[in-house]
Amino acid sequence: MPLNLILNNLEKHIHLTREEQEIFTAYLQPKKIKRKQFLLTYGEVCKYSAFVITGCLRGYTVDKSGIEHVLSFAPADWWIADMYSLISQKPGIQNIEALEDTEVLLLSKANQEKLYTQIPKFEHFFRILTENSLVASQQRLIDSLSLTAEERYNNFCKRYPTLIDHLPQKQIASYIGVTPEFFSRMKAEMVRKR
């Protein structure tokens, strides 16, 4: 099952032969992360891309006031990494934490580079992931500058439909850039308007 999920994820963008699938899966390292444990902490160099099999991870930063800012969520069938650190191999700027018991498949940067040589279509696959990540980050920045909190929440619901009723409200509030109290009032107002 775990391998089927990741192979189906790849098939969205590239087709692999049985031999290529075997080469790829040999490079994967399974890992279980308990709720509230970290896959990556601020200041560490990100050495892996993680593909979520079950559970959910969140990527976030903490500002000088100690306030957390959620940058992304990764439910099942999603990839996550601190892209800045993974690409530059400099200390990371994100924490990646399990919101619940989570199983991932890790692909090291070194093995990813080997895949590029052995199976060049992986360059295409990871270029698409990187481009999608860049587009999502840019859109999120634009949204935070130009949309209301309610519009940002609606965008969150479209991006993460499986997480709407699954995440604590404070996590969603952090993602859309509002306090939990404001988020609670906004949701109550949205319900009243319906």
Model confidence at 185, pLDDT cuts 50, 70, 90, reads: very high
Mean per-residue pLDDT of the chain: 94
pLDDT tens for each residue of 10-57: 999 999 999 999 999 999 999 999 999 999 999 999 999 999 999 999
Phi, psi of 162 (to 5 degrees): -80, -10
| Residue 96 and residue 39 in contact, taking contact as beta carbons nearer than 8 Å | yes
List the Cα angle 176/180/185 in 5-degree steps. Answer: 95
Say what the pLDDT of residue 1 is. Answer: 57
Say what the pLDDT of residue 27 is. Answer: 97
Question: Terminus-to-terminus CA distance in the chain, angstroms?
Answer: 41
Query: d(Cα 147, Cα 6) in Å, to the nearest integer?
Result: 34
Say what the pLDDT of residue 43 is. Answer: 96
| Residue 122 and residue 129 in contact, taking contact as beta carbons nearer than 8 Å | no
Mean pLDDT of 172-181: 92
Say what the pLDDT of residue 57 is. Answer: 97
What share of the chain has pLDDT > 70, as a percent?
99
Residue 185: partners with Cβ closer than 8 Å, 6 or more residues away: none
What share of the chain has pLDDT > 90, as a percent?
85
Mean pLDDT of 152-177: 90
pLDDT tens for each residue of 116-164: 999 999 999 999 999 998 998 899 999 999 999 999 999 999 988 888 8
pTM for the predicted model, two decimal places: 0.92
Q: Show contacts of 142-151: CB within 8 Å, 24+ apart.
A: 144/177, 149/176, 149/177, 149/178, 149/182, 149/183, 149/186, 150/186, 150/190
| Residue 109 and residue 177 in contact, taking contact as beta carbons nearer than 8 Å | no
| Residue 176 and residue 153 in contact, taking contact as beta carbons nearer than 8 Å | yes
Query: What's the order of all strands across the beta sheet hosting 68-75?
Result: 38-40, 95-98, 56-62, 68-75
| Residue 190 and residue 150 in contact, taking contact as beta carbons nearer than 8 Å | yes
